Chain A
Amino acid sequence: MLLEVRDLHVEFKTRDGVAKAVNGVDYSVDAGETLAVLGESGSGKSVTAQAIMGILDMPPGRIAGGEILFQGKDLLKLKEEERRKVRGAEMAMIFQDALSSLNPVLSVGDQLGEMFVVHRGMSKKDARAKAVELMDRVRIPAAKERVKQYPHQFSGGMRQRIMIAMALALEPALIIADEPTTALDVTVQAQVMDLLAELQREYNMGLILITHDLGVVADVADRIAVMYAGRIVEQAPVHDIYKAPAHPYTRGLLDSIPRLDQKGQELYAIKGLPPNLMAIPPGCAFNPRCPMAQDVCRTDEPPLYEVSEDRTSACHFWRECLNG
């Protein structure tokens, strides 16, 4: 297994109390595999990713427990210096907003080349040549001329390609993409997702794709982990989950999206709002919004039930949910 996250807990200290952003997350990714982490804002999907990358703001953040095993070593036990060697070279991240993730006062060539200068000790000239090569790889036209340009001179889709190039630079084993296409238009989104999937296959990388878009997930993922209030409520191979969800939250999400190929009547709407992370309801966190909730859901937190060999659900009534 390339990456294994075990029982991860992350908290944030705020003026009003402790916000429990991640409450016992387990997931794993293999080389060449795409795991989609699906969730709404505040579900803890990005915080988990930041903890894996080691870019969590601490304080106010704090890792309250758990392990992150990457190629067998626990990243949380490494010193910051060792961690820095892993970051970028072994695992890399692609952010949502490429414009604010790139440095506006450095040319893209300098930013791409910096990876090679810092991690590989290359000369500036060699690094520049590498940068051009990378820009070619992500199919930026006229790479030789454009390497001298600054981020604002590129379109949104091109900037996201530069982010991808930067993540790929040192050929990491794992890439975490946090909403990589959310800020892009559909036609450009399709180009970028295609490119990402192709490069992943070529380098046989593990990919964690963080998104809220059920359509994107269906297009590229092998497996899905659905997060709610800092926990994974359901984890399954992509085909199974769309056919028959085993958690009422997943079912609600699937029913609430309008479909391009169907002119629906009234949409199903999950009632209520996601919980306040400083006061997560006792029992199952989803119980106040759940149409299937019983008394037991308000008192006992559901464990991860094994639905099948490669599938889990954190719902006391997963059987009923699975059968509709």
Chain B
Amino acid sequence: MVESIIEVSGLVKHYPLTQGILFKKQVGAVKAVDGVDFTLNKGETLGIVGESGCGKSTVAKMLVNLEQPTAGSIKYKGEDITKLSGRALKAVRRNIQMVFQDPYTSLNPRMTVGDIIGEPYDIHPEVAPKGDRRRKVQDLLDVVGLNPEYINRYPHQFSGGQRQRIGIARGLALRPEVIVADEPVSALDVSVQAQVINLMDRLQNEFDLSYVFIAHDLSIVRHISDRVGVMYLGRIVEIGRDAEIYDHPTHPYTQALLSAVPVPDPEAREHRERIILAGDVPSPTNIPSGCRFRTRCWKAQERCALEVPALAIPSEFRLTSGPAAHDSACHFAEEKQVVPPEEPPDDLAKGRE
């Protein structure tokens, strides 16, 4: 049975825009996150993709309680963490840790690696008694593939990939159950990205972690995720298992996004259909009525401006049990294959001849 560990419902984050100095009058709001629902199951990786400004990082911050939501709830094992405070909040925070995007600015340059990774123990001393900490930190360094003797070095003595390993070690220090990783590899070089992704894969099995993996790179998200949610302008427009999203997308935005990703295969250049979207993402202060994607959508009709499409299995697929039957917030959802189908492995193809 699948056991859920985090349940997010109706999550909203609006940043008010004010005018005036003494009497601040609210004149509008940046609707960074505008009604997001998802579930994270135990031991799985949920990927969240979207372009810049879609609200994916704000969701991450709310999950680890760095931002307070305007509305909605985040339930960790059935308990709404947005309403907690004091000791109860501290206990929950221990179990949900974060890995940041930029390994250059997320590590304090004046602290040694040992102090950086060991700092969580100052806040949660029950995890590691004082005398035990050094050994624990060295164990963590070893786990993430760094030499335990580097414990007294400073962040500038490490490369970007090694720094990201330090950030991951810090995230693991308190033995959390959930790790929220916000673009953990986007600042790294291609050859180093693979090392860090493999490390995260290995740690997930070793420590039985659940990941929320946020990224803009659709290929990486497919590689690491069990389920994927696609965000656009503060909402999830489509969510499902990785094969459902990548091989059977039904939302036009997902289709456009996938078709725009360059595939490292020059042969695909000629026979690949590209959907090039017109224009830019609208401003989150002024979100279009109805379906928020309609201003860039080639299928948009009158109904799209009037009715907000719900994130649910579209009615035409509801009775089928195929891969197209997953949640998609579109009035005119239809299946469209945009990613070239996977080639059968070489030996398989040869066997058929």
Contact = CB atoms under 8 A, between A and B. Distances in A.
A254 B194 CA distance: 11
Instruction: Give the interface residue-count category, chain A.
Output: 35 or more
Contacts of B274: 190
B264 A242 contact: yes
B261 A185 contact: no
Contacts of B340: 261
B197 interface: yes
A187 B277 contact: yes
Contact of A218 (B195, B257, B264): B264
A170 interface: no
A268 B191 CA distance: 9
Interface stretch (A20-28, A117-125, A208-216): A208-216
Contacts of A213: 262
Given A252-B191, A258-B220, A263-B223, A242 B197 contact: no
B277 A242 contact: no
Q: Which of A239, A253, A260 has the most CB of B within 10 A?
A: A260
A186 B257 contact: yes
A59 interface: no
Contact of B258 (A41, A215, A260, A269): A260
Q: What secondary structure prevails in chain B residues at the interface with A?
A: helix
A236 B193 CA distance: 25
Interface in A18-53: 40-41
B166 to A, nearest CB: 15
Interface stretch (B24-32, B64-72, B265-273, B308-316): B265-273
Given A186-B257, A261-B341, A242 B265 contact: yes
Contact of B216 (A41, A185, A216, A259): A185
Contact of A187 (B161, B198, B257): B257
B343 to A, nearest CB: 8
A14 interface: no
B190 A257 contact: yes
Contacts, number: 130
A304 to B, nearest CB: 22
B191 A40 contact: yes
A242 B276 contact: no
A186 B159 contact: no
Interface string A246-289: 00000011101111111110111111011000000000000000
A269 B194 contact: yes
Contact of B262 (A218, A264, A273): A218
A264 B190 contact: no
Given A239-B266, A267-B223, A273 B261 contact: no
Interface in A99-143: none
B91 interface: no
A215 B220 CA distance: 13
B52 interface: yes
A261 B246 CA distance: 8
Interface in B232-268: 242-243, 246, 256-258, 260-268
B300 interface: no
Nearest to A40: B189
Interface string B35-46: 000000000000
A189 interface: yes
Contact of B52 (A158, A185, A239, A260): A185
B189 A267 contact: no
B266 A218 contact: yes
B190 A212 contact: yes
B198 A263 contact: no
A263 B269 contact: no
B352 to A, nearest CB: 19
Interface string A155-193: 101100000000000000000000000000111111100
A293 interface: no
Interface string B327-353: 000000000000111100000000000
Contacts of A215: 219, 261-264
A194 interface: yes
B269 A218 contact: yes
Contact of B194 (A185, A194, A259, A267): A267
A293 to B, nearest CB: 16
A260 B201 contact: no
B190 A256 contact: yes
Nearest to A264: B223
Interface in B169-206: 189-195, 197-198, 201
B280 interface: yes
15 contacts: A185-B216, A186-B261, A187-B256, A217-B264, A219-B266, A256-B190, A257-B193, A258-B219, A258-B222, A259-B264, A260-B219, A260-B222, A260-B263, A267-B223, A268-B194
What are the 7 A-B residue pairs with the smallest beta carbon separation, nearest first? Answer: A215-B262, A258-B223, A185-B51, A256-B194, A190-B260, A269-B194, A214-B264
Interface of B: 51-52, 159, 161, 189-195, 197-198, 201, 216, 218-220, 222-224, 242-243, 246, 256-258, 260-269, 274, 276-277, 280-281, 339-342
Given A191-B277, A219-B262, A269-B191, 20 more contacts: A187-B51, A187-B256, A212-B190, A214-B264, A215-B262, A215-B263, A218-B262, A239-B266, A242-B264, A242-B265, A256-B193, A256-B194, A258-B219, A260-B222, A260-B258, A261-B341, A261-B342, A263-B242, A270-B195, A274-B189
